[in-house]
Amino acid sequence: MKKNKVISPFKPAAHKHQECLKSAIKNAKARCDVSGLRLTPLRQRVLELVWQSHEPVKAYDVLDELKQGHSSSSAPPTVYRALDFLQEQGLVHKIESLNSYVGCGNPEELHTGQFFICRDCGSVAELDDADISSLIEKKANSFGFKIDNEMVEIKGHCQECRDSEK
Amino acid sequence: MKKNKVISPFKPAAHKHQECLKSAIKNAKARCDVSGLRLTPLRQRVLELVWQSHEPVKAYDVLDELKQGHSSSSAPPTVYRALDFLQEQGLVHKIESLNSYVGCGNPEELHTGQFFICRDCGSVAELDDADISSLIEKKANSFGFKIDNEMVEIKGHCQECRDSEK
DNA sequence: ACAATTAATGTTATAATATAACATTACATT
DNA sequence: AATGTAATGTTATATTATAACATTAATTGT
């Protein structure tokens, strides 16, 4: 159990979320500098909206909030295109089982993580755990399967919610 | 690597699929006998349609085929209700990342399996692998997370397709 | 600086997936 | 047969996502 790399832990309800947000934007800028692609105002805005919380966010909720910002008009492709871009850059992940999107805590190296989703508070923790990945790969190898994408989404109840339920 | 329990292997392209189908129906009847619930003609028909192949099948494709069978009228709820029932009985699994459904090779004991999906032939292999599950559980325990549902969907290329590509 | 090219966004329409709500029919029990 | 429950039928609509084409903004070569 050495390689249990926690990308985003479950955050205590009372943490300073402003810091998460700031760091996410900083990471995004750094990432785009490296890739040479543009973090346009629209893309940055969508990223901020996804990072409003540690809970997965729906595309149409992002869209509704975009529309509030009077500045520019918006339609579904607006948000789906931005989300696609952010996913390609590793800045957000899609949670397939929820049709939702969540910010990535470590976009520095591209990865598909393992997600743990609390059914009570809705929060997500992200791992990029080499033990899990290599075990899955070993199993795949045993029947000649070559992996190109790993999706692991685990539902349950986080420590904080279990504690507060008594 | 002892507990690598293969529920449904990748089937060679030329296997006798009629046997798979027959066995799936037999299993379903047995399962419903145990649970005391009814495998109605509609439910059985939907199960057969899902089992037409080892590839995940879309709800609306099942619906289209149901409509071919002149006997009864059909609408989306018809097929979603049947699929829900079959899922609850462990007779089919939903592949979340494909919005598709696949027959379960071992409905005897309820489980959420691990799915390996070939991007070339579309086929799915299902494991119910205790090594993977227990490793994920161990990781979850390490931060106080209590699992109630595990979802593992792996995309890649199966042995047979890799061989036939040269 | 300008034209040409490419990238990003706007816009309209529609496709694909899924559920709500209520009516009807079939089945099971007395 | 009368009643209650489970299953299915039916209509409408909600939710999620993409296609296709028009316009605007940024970048590049000259």
Which position has the token pair 């890649």? B156
Report which of A140, A131, A94, A135 is spatially closest to residue A115, judged by C-alpha positions: A94
Question: Which whole number is the average pLDDT over A115-144?
Answer: 97
Which residues of A are less than 8 Å from B9 in CB distance? Answer: 143
The predicted structure's pLDDT at residue A2: 60
Question: Which whole number is the average pLDDT over A84-90?
Answer: 97
* B111's tokens: 């489980």
Å from the B91 CA to the D1 C1': 38
Length of chain A: 166
Q: Each residue's pLDDT tens digit in chain B (166 positions)?
A: 656 789 999 988 889 999 999 999 999 999 999 889 999 999 999 999 999 999 999 999 999 999 998 667 899 999 999 999 999 999 999 999 999 999 998 888 888 899 999 999 999 999 999 999 999 999 999 999 999 999 999 999 999 999 997 6
Which A residues between 8 and 67 have a beta carbon under 7 A from any strand C atom? 37-38, 40-43
Is residue B115 within 8 A of residue B102, CB to CB? The reply is yes
What separation, in Å, do the N-terminal and C-terminal C-alpha atoms of chain A show? 29
- pLDDT score of A3 more than 80: no
The Cα B31–Cα B89 span in angstroms is 7
Q: Which residue is nearest to nucleotide C26 (CA to C1')?
A: B40
Backbone angles phi, psi at B27, to 5 degrees: -60, -40
The Cα A120–Cα A77 span in angstroms is 31
DSSP string, B55-115: S-B-HHHHHHHHHHSTTS---HHHHHHHHHHHHHTTSEEEEGGGTEEEE-S-TTS----EE
- pLDDT score of A120 more than 90: yes
pLDDT single digits (tens) A32-76: 998 899 999 999 999 999 999 999 999 999 999 999 986 678 999
Min Cα–Cα distance to chain B from A82, Å: 20
Record the pTM: 0.94
